[in-house]
Structure 1
Amino acid sequence: MAKEKITMLVEKTETGFSAYSKDYPIFTTGQSIPELINNAYEAINFYFDETSTQIKPQDIKFEIDFKQFFKYYKVLNAKFLAEKIGMNATLLSQYISGTKKPSAKQTEKILKGIHQIGQELSGINLLQTA
């Protein structure tokens, strides 16, 4: 088995996305996040194919920095997120711009807020009005 989880760093490109591993010579691209994830899974399994190592989706961790994340998910308003998680909006903006780096605790708080918003949105059904 590969060492713990395989971390793939994700970056936004002009044509979509790219991802590369910090620990293995593995890289891939995709026009969308779902395509990138599928391509990364294929690339990782191709890399480990000769060793007969079976890699499962839960063995892969995707990471994207704040600036890249908010550049892609423009629909997520930083001020709204800051209010949702009880964080100063200016501080969150500094994290997003890269002028300050959040601690692990702050990163977890932000990620938890993003996941909460995602869960709320996934539970909503839109009705068509006449």
Structure 2
Amino acid sequence: MKKYRMIIEKTDTGFSAYSMDFPVFTTGDSMNEVLDNSVEALNLYFEEINQIIKPEQIKLEIDFQQFFQYYNVINAKVLAEKIGMNPTLLSQYVSGKKRPSEAQSQKILSGINRIGKELSELKLTFN
């Protein structure tokens, strides 16, 4: 299944998204809304050739620094310790003072995905 890459940017009023491959742009108040609007915008672009884009075909990408600004509930120091990375180094990535290599980016994303998976499988009980 072909994936369509949309670059997300945080704005003062929400989010904007654009494609690097097609003249497609959109906005939204939330990440979910910008995903829905990206599907709609891509479908409008491909309407003439009857190509239908589904949400699972959209690959959203967000700048590293903006990710940590938007998901500010993720503590960079704790994340670094959890994934076996130097907390000072991750802090420099988050602040934009340094840029992570592709391998470091994958390590960080893998750690974030692992935490997300753990959270999605968690069941809370109330005693």
- TM-score scaled by structure 2? 0.91
Report the equivalent of 1:100.
Answer: 98
Q: Take 2:16 and 2:124, find their aligned partners in 1: how far apart are those partners?
A: 33
Who is 1:5 aligned against? 3
* Shift in Å, 1:70: 0.4
Match of 1:36 in 2: 34
Q: How far apart are the structure 1 equivalents of 2:63 and 2:45?
A: 25
Task: Tell me how far apart the structure 1 counterparts of residues 97 and 55 of structure 2 sit (CA, whole Å).
Answer: 33
Structure 1 residue ranges, 4+ long, deviating more than 6 angstroms after superposition: none
Q: How far 1:100 moved relative to its partner?
A: 1.3
Where 2:46 maps in the other structure, the secondary structure is helix
How far apart, in 1, do the equivalents of 2:44 and 2:32 lie? 18
Structure 1 stretches of 5 or more lacking a match?
Answer: none
Q: TM-score if structure 1 supplies the norm length? A: 0.89
Find the partner of 2:115 among 105, 117, 126. 117
The answer for the alignment partner of 1:14 in structure 2 is: 12
- Paired letter, 2:81: E
Deviation, 1:58, is 3.5
**Residue number among 53, 56, 68 corresponding to 1:55 in the alignment:** 53
- Distance in 2 between the 1:58 and 1:40 partners? 11
User: What is the one-letter code of the residue matched to 1:93?
Assistant: S
The percent identity for this pair of structures is: 61
Matching residue within 79, 82, 87 for 1:81: 79
Gaps of 5+ in 2: none
Deviation for aligned residue 1:128? 3.8
